[in-house]
Structure formats: structure tokens, C-alpha cells
């Protein structure tokens, strides 16, 4: 739905269309993070990452901006006992589906590629590939 609305799968373009500011900064070992200040949304991306990795990080942080707009995962991780794993998993799934449509992943699977081969080709974890295939198969069965 979001891809159709914005007419793209590019996370940088989607962020711009949604009014989310993307900043490229030196972040050391941190790949990126999402923040919100005075109702303005920001995605911070480590400028030292490869272009493809920056694209993945932008898509992941865009997931946080859309799915968890008021959550502050760095604060939650550092100052509370709240588990941010669910938030991170949801942002990873958002990133995977944004950058790799389920039909693309399913095509690889139907051609006989293994979960690990698909993960390597797409730059995803095997768990994310399995999630996409399972979700695709579930949705495909529901529409039949």
C-alpha cells in the first residue's frame, strides 16, 4: 500500500514524501537510528556505510518511523527493562518487504534456491527470508 501510494520502493524517496528528514552522519559503530523532536521525524544514517547498507538502514528506520513513531528504542534499551526485540523484528520485517517484494523472494524459492542462497542474494537473514515466504504463502492461500 505504501509503495503504491508513494509510487516507489526506495526508502529515501518514501521518507522524503512522508516529510521524514534523512541525515547522513558519522555514527561510529552505530548503523542508524530514528528520532522525533518537536513532531519532526528524523532518520540518522551512518555515512560510512556502503550505499546498499545505507538503503537497508533507511528502510529499517523508516519501519520504526511508520510502525513505532513515538517509541525511542535507544532510550528503552538503555533505561528500562522493556524488550525492544519485538520493535526491531517488526522494523526488520518492514525493511525486508519494502526492499524485496514477496513475489521476488518466492520466484527465487520456486527456482530451487535455498533459504540461505536467497538470503545471501538479497542481503537478508534466513529468518527474514523465511518470514517473507511464509507470509506470501499465507496471503496467497487466503486469496485462493
pLDDT in tens, 85-129: 788 889 999 999 899 888 899 999 999 999 999 999 998 889 999
Domain total in the chain: 1
Is 51 contained in some domain? yes
pLDDT for residue 74: 65
Residue 31 pLDDT > 70, yes or no?
yes
Is 57 contained in some domain? yes
CATH number at residue 63: 1.10.10.2910
pTM for the whole structure = 0.82
Is 34 contained in some domain? yes
Is 61 contained in some domain? yes
Q: For all residues of the chain together, what is the average pLDDT?
A: 87
Is 25 contained in some domain? yes
Query: What is the residue range of 36's domain?
Result: 1-70
Q: Between the ranges 20-24, 38-42, 130-134, where is the mean pLDDT highest?
A: 20-24
Q: In whole angstroms, what is the distance from residue 123 CA to residue 118 CA?
A: 8
3-state secondary structure 47-77: CCCCHHHHHHHHHHHHHHHHHCCCCCHHHHH
Question: Is 55 in contact with 15 (CB distance < 8 Å)?
Answer: no
Is 6 contained in some domain? yes
Amino acid at each position: 500500500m505504501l509503495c503504491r501510494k508513494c509510487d516507489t520502493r526506495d526508502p529515501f524517496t518514501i521518507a522524503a514524501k512522508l516529510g521524514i528528514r534523512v541525515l547522513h552522519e558519522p555514527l561510529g559503530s552505530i548503523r542508524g537510528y530514528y528520532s522525533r523532536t518537536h513532531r519532526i521525524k528524523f532518520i540518522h544514517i551512518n555515512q560510512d556505510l556502503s550505499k546498499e547498507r545505507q538503503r537497508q538502514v533507511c528502510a529499517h528506520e523508516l519501519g520504526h518511523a511508520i510502525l513505532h513513531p513515538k517509541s525511542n528504542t535507544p532510550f528503552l534499551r538503555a533505561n528500562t527493562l522493556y524488550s525492544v526485540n519485538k520493535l526491531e523484528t517488526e522494523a526488520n520485517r518492514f525493511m525486508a518487504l519494502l526492499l524485496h517484494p514477496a513475489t521476488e523472494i518466492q520466484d527465487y524459492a520456486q527456482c530451487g534456491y535455498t533459504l540461505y542462497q536467497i538470503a545471501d542474494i538479497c542481503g537478508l537473514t534466513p529468518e527474514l527470508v523465511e518470514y517473507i515466504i511464509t507470509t506470501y504463502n499465507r496471503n496467497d492461500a487466503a486469496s485462493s
